[in-house]
């Protein structure tokens, strides 16, 4: 399963980056989204997979029933998910604004300030 998920991560990263190299701003945003899925899944997989028990401790116990999933990668991913949601929201607003100002979705048109 680790190998399978590692490949899935590779695919998500590859497709995300490919989308970011396109000229459409919208594809850029989609690429970003794919990329963050890839990163989340990467942390999840690299942190060690455990099938089954979530890291919850039953009432009255002090330890969760084994085997339990490593809680730390989950916390990291939760943070990462929320952060990337914020960044994505801003990016989309930025793209919205960019289309408004420049009248195009083509990134290659955005070179006026560098020439």
Among positions 9-28, residues that touch other proteins (CB under 8 A) are 9-28
3-state secondary structure of 90: helix
Among positions 84-113, residues that touch other proteins (CB under 8 A) are 85-102, 104-108, 110-113
3-state secondary structure of 68: strand
Whether residue 37 contacts residue 22, with contact meaning beta carbons closer than 8 Å, is answered with no
Closest distance to other proteins from the beta carbon of 27 (Å): 7
* Alpha carbons 57 and 14: distance in angstroms, whole number: 38
- For residue 65, state whether it binds other proteins (rule: CB under 8 A): no
- For residue 70, state whether it binds other proteins (rule: CB under 8 A): yes
Closest distance to other proteins from the beta carbon of 50 (Å): 6
Using CB under 8 A, count the residues that bind other proteins.
Answer: 107
Tokens representing 115 are: 């020439």
* Alpha carbons 94 and 4: distance in angstroms, whole number: 36
Closest distance to other proteins from the beta carbon of 60 (Å): 9
């Amino acid at each position: 399963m680790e190998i399978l998920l590692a490949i899935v991560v590779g695919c998500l990263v590859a497709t995300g980056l490919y989308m970011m190299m396109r000229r459409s701003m919208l594809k850029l945003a989609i690429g970003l989204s794919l990329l963050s899925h890839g990163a989340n899944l990467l942390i999840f997989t690299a942190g060690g997979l455990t099938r089954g028990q979530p890291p919850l401790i039953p009432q009255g116990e002090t330890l969760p029933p084994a085997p339990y999933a490593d809680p730390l990668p989950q916390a990291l991913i939760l943070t990462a998910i929320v952060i990337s949601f914020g960044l994505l929201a801003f990016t989309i607003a930025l793209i919205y604004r960019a289309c408004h100002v420049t009248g195009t979705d083509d990134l290659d048109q955005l070179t006026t300030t560098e020439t």
